[in-house]
Chain A
Amino acid sequence: MRPTLSTTEVLNDAADAVTRVAAPWMGLLWMLSLPLRLCQAHFVARVIDLGPESGQYGAHLFGIALAAAAALLPALWARAVFVRALGLSLRRAASPGAEALRVPAASLACYVYAALAIEVLFFALGWTLVALPLLMVMGGLAAAIAPLCEQPGLVRPFREIARHLSHGRVLVGLVTVFAIAFFVVFINLLFVFALGLWLAGAIPGLDPAPWQVLLDFGNERYLLVLCAGALLAVEPFWLGACVVYVHKVRSRQSGEDLRLWFERLRSEAA
């Protein structure tokens, strides 16, 4: 009997797949996602600074939002490349070469369209916090199913996302694990900076006082940058988990998993 798909199974395979493609594709993902995360952190910091008067600074906020939206496009391309690299590594169990960069135009267009639609939903509903887990899953699945969109279309990406929402228990498990991972990375980054500051105090001639003000827990900008750092650190693993999840769901639907299992049994018997 075929065992049910589990969260730990997806996470184990995702960890292996991400490790295989870490160099250089995770670097590319981080490099192109960093401007986006910093723009988003800057936007939130400005909104907090302006407070209730932020409505009077619409043009200023619009400029930052435009920069963030422009930074989103290269970040989406980097995600598409990373997902393609993960997909190739799952098929060959080896790190892919430059072919990972050749993302088909149709799948990239579908992904950009779906990601922008999810971004709009995020801004419309994200502040309620209730919709966040669903939007998180949709964002991850939109990237993971992009290679399946061989022709551009408005419905296809969302149909594929809906088709892959079948294992709700696994998805809830993944969202929970990655939400915890985000907080763990955040706390770790906080302690790394505190440790760095403490060690800097031991260097003669270096005054850590100004840094202590900047790297203080009460500094909102510092906390926002830490959030951006935590998101950057977790993102490749989240994408990896989504790609592995989609791969496993499709293998089950096509019977590919059984074929591989029989092959393994045959090779073990031989």
Chain B
Amino acid sequence: MTAVAPLGSGQRLCANHPERPGHALCMACKKVVCQECATEWDGINYCVACLALRRKTVAASSSFFGWVLVAAAAALLFYASVHLMVWTGVFVTGLL
């Protein structure tokens, strides 16, 4: 899927810069934007505002999963460390 719409010169103007001709269509807000305002991400064009919003959402979701993973791993390691401490103590006294 691509967001670059076939915009003819003078047909559509950039929503942020009315003096500039439109280059692409933002797939999130459907606004026409110029070459400077359009950024391609994963093959799709976005305007500056929608790109910032999307990056924020992705960062928040990756941060949430990161928190869940780290909390789960820490809890598991805490449990393992207590058991391993006892097992190692018993094992080392068996060696001596």
Q: Which residues from chain A sit less than 8 Å from chain B, CB to CB?
A: 43-44, 47-48, 50-52, 54-55, 58, 61-62, 65-66, 68-69, 72, 106, 109-110, 112-113, 116-117, 119-120, 123-124, 126-127, 151-154
Q: Does B89 contact A (CB under 8 A)?
A: yes
Tell which of B59, B62, B86 has the most Cβ of chain A within 10 Å. Answer: B86
Q: Does B8 contact A (CB under 8 A)?
A: no
* Inter-chain contact A152/B84, CB cutoff 8 Å: no
Residue of A nearest to B79 (CB): A69
Interface range for B: 20 to 34
Q: How far is the CA of A54 from the CA of B94 in the complex (A)?
A: 9
Distance of B29 from chain A, by nearest CB (Å):
28
Apart from A55-B90, A65-B86, A113-B74, 10 more pairs, CB < 8 Å: A43-B85, A50-B93, A52-B93, A52-B94, A62-B82, A65-B82, A69-B85, A151-B66, A152-B69, A154-B70
Across-interface contacts of A153 in B (CB, < 8 A) = 66, 69-70
* Inter-chain contact A109/B71, CB cutoff 8 Å: yes
Q: Is the interface of B mostly helix, strand, loop or mixed?
A: helix
Across-interface contacts of A55 in B (CB, < 8 A) = 90, 94
Across-interface contacts of B78 in A (CB, < 8 A) = 69, 116
* Inter-chain contact B69/A69, CB cutoff 8 Å: no
8 Å CB contact of B88 from A68, A112, A123:
A123
Residue of A nearest to B76 (CB): A116
